[in-house]
Structure 1
Amino acid sequence: MSPDVIDEALTLLRARYIFPEKAEAAAAAIRRRRQAGDYAGLDEPRLAERLTAELFEVCGDKHLRVRVRDAELHAALTPQEMTAAYREQVRHANYGIARVERLDGNVGYLDLRQIADASAGGRAIAAAMELVSHTEALIIDLRRNRGGSPNGVTFWLSYLFPDDETHLNSIYDGESGNTRQFWSLAWLPGERYLDRPVSVLTSEVTFSAGEEFCYNLQAHGRATLIGQTTRGGAHPTEFFPITPTLEITVPVARSVSPVTGGNWEGTGVVPDVEVPAGQALATAYRRALEHVLTTSAPASVLAEARSALNDPAAAAAA
């Protein structure tokens, strides 16, 4: 492997990483290992794996990594082509919405695998929220959510707050020195989901923007998190090509909660109710059904809730 590949990776790291001192320390460590011959004879996949491990050893940042990509993804695409490719990818993934359902007892369920940019996924997000808008309680499943867009998080969460007066998150950009604030939106297509309980399911897989979704709701006391502590990545990232098939992902910004003053980097988001991820849905569904029985829902809904609550097998299979 050419030394130029490592030099290019380190140049990008030092120029763009949100923590310059850590970037310098990591670059120095990797140069020492290169001089010792540690990377001699490694092909791209093995070099990517080794560099990622060494970057994590110094920086402890799960967004900071070197990885192999298909050549087409780095083939001289213009920003417009990159945007079009992204929109096509999220369209085929249904904008991250894997499942929308009304469970027995009039409990809403959303399975979100990705947080789409609001400019691409806004209509789908609005449609999903419309389908659960008249439920008595809502479960949002982020156990397989690996991230996405901060403005997508804002769009989703705005349905759970009454107006535009909730400061959800801020992101500090290292290159410009500017801080962008993300507030709940003043207007949304469809109804907001207010005055009803929301549970969010988490796992060790939940990452990045999926974690922001959890952290913001928990910080504002708007949802109960059920499951496992999340993976722990709070730094917005950009991807930079090193070769046609190799790239480095570099965190270029960091999240700052207006409530806590910090974020979930390295620690993950700790759930309010800790259970194995595989039991999180059954636990949340049981809690939701218990809530339904305290409401003035129609008799048919209350009967559904009682039946579901008295059938542990059905709840476990939810």
Structure 2
Amino acid sequence: MSPNVIEEALAVLCARYIFPEKAEAAAAAIRRREQAGEYAGLDERQLGERLTAELFEICEDTHLRVRVRGAELHAALTQDEMVAVYREQIKLANYGIARVERLDGNIGYLDLRQIPEASMGGRAIVAAMELVSHTEALIIDLRRNRGGVPNGVSLWHSYLFPDDETHLNSIYDGESGNTRQYWSQAYLPGERYLDRPVYVLISGVTFSAGEEFCYNVQALGRATLIGQTTRGGAHPTRFFPITPTLEITVPIARAVNPVTGGNWEGTGVVPDIEVPAEEALATAYRRALEHVLAGSAAAAVQEEARAALDGLAPAEPAETVAA
């Protein structure tokens, strides 16, 4: 492996990482190891894994990685080329929406695996929210959500708040020194999802923009989080190709929540109700059905909810995590 590959990765790290002092310290440590011949004979995958581990030793940043690029990216070396690949990938992934369903008892269910860029996935988000707009409660499953784009998060969230007066999140950009605020939107196609409970399912896989999704609604008291603590990556990231087959992903910004003043980096998002991730859906569904039965839903919906609740396995005691 050419030493130039390592040096190019370190140059990007030092120029773009949101924490410059950590970047310089990590680069110095890696250069010492490179001079000692510790990377000799490693192929690209081995080198990426080794550098990623060593970057984490100093920076403790789960977004900071050196890794082999997917085959579809080998010819994508400019930003425009990488955006074109992303556009095709997110379209084929149905803009991250794996499943939209009305569960018995008139409970809405969304399984979101990615958060799309709003200008690309907006129509799909609107369509999904239209399909659950008349349900009695909503379950949003982020247990397999590995991230996405902040403006997509703000579009999803806008459906959960009544107007444009909810400050959702802010992102500080290291290169420009500017902070961008993300607010709920004044106008949305279709109906907003208001005055009904929302349950968000999380796990140790939930990451990045998926974590922002749940952190924001938890901080604002708009949803109940159920499952396990998330992975803990709060730094928006860009991908920089080092060769056609190797890239470094570098956090260039950091989230600053307007309610907490902080973010979930390194700690993850802690659920309100802690249960094993595989039990989170059943736990949320039970609570949603109990909400229906305690309310004024139509008789047919109440009957359906009672039958669904009777069909669930007996509930195990759930651990409520103190705020």
CA-to-aligned-CA distance 1:51-100 (integer Å, 9 cap, x gap): 00000111000000000014551425554433332221111100000000
Structure 1 CA distance, aligned partners of 2:274 and 2:170? 27
Residue 116 of structure 1 corresponds to which residue in structure 2?
116
Structure 2 CA distance, aligned partners of 1:56 and 1:146? 19
8 Å contact kept, 2:48–2:67: yes
Residue 319 of structure 2 corresponds to which residue in structure 1?
none
Report matched runs for 1:11-90 at 5 Å: 11-70=11-70, 72-75=72-75, 77-90=77-90
Which segments of 5 or more consecutive residues in structure 2 lack a partner in the other structure?
A: 317-323
Structure 2 CA distance, aligned partners of 1:298 and 1:170? 41
Which segments of 5 or more consecutive residues in structure 1 lack a partner in the other structure?
A: none
CA-to-aligned-CA distance 1:72-129 (integer Å, 9 cap, x gap): 5142555443333222111110000000000000000000000011100101100000
Secondary structure class of the residue paired with 1:312:
coil
Residue 182 of structure 1 corresponds to which residue in structure 2?
182
8 Å contact kept, 2:169–2:258: yes
Secondary structure class of the residue paired with 2:67:
strand
User: Structure 2 vs 1, CA of residues 35 and 81 (structure 1 numbering), >3 Å: closer, same or farther?
Assistant: closer
CA-to-aligned-CA distance 1:177-226 (integer Å, 9 cap, x gap): 00000000000010000000000000000000000000000000000000
Percent of aligned pairs with the same amino acid:
82
TM-score normalized by the length of structure 1: 0.97
Report matched runs for 1:252-271 at 5 Å: 252-271=252-271
- 1:34, distance to aligned residue in structure 2 (A): 1.0
1:96 equivalent to 2:96? Answer yes
TM-score normalized by the length of structure 2: 0.95
Structure 1 CA distance, aligned partners of 2:119 and 2:72? 24
User: Structure 2 vs 1, CA of residues 51 and 80 (structure 1 numbering), >3 Å: closer, same or farther?
Assistant: closer
8 Å contact kept, 1:100–1:131: yes
Structure 2 CA distance, aligned partners of 1:40 and 1:177? 39
Letter of the aligned partner of 1:88 in structure 2? E
User: Structure 2 vs 1, CA of residues 163 and 49 (structure 1 numbering), >3 Å: closer, same or farther?
Assistant: same
Residue 170 of structure 2 corresponds to which residue in structure 1?
170
Secondary structure class of the residue paired with 1:293:
helix
Structure 1 CA distance, aligned partners of 2:282 and 2:75? 46
Secondary structure class of the residue paired with 1:110:
strand
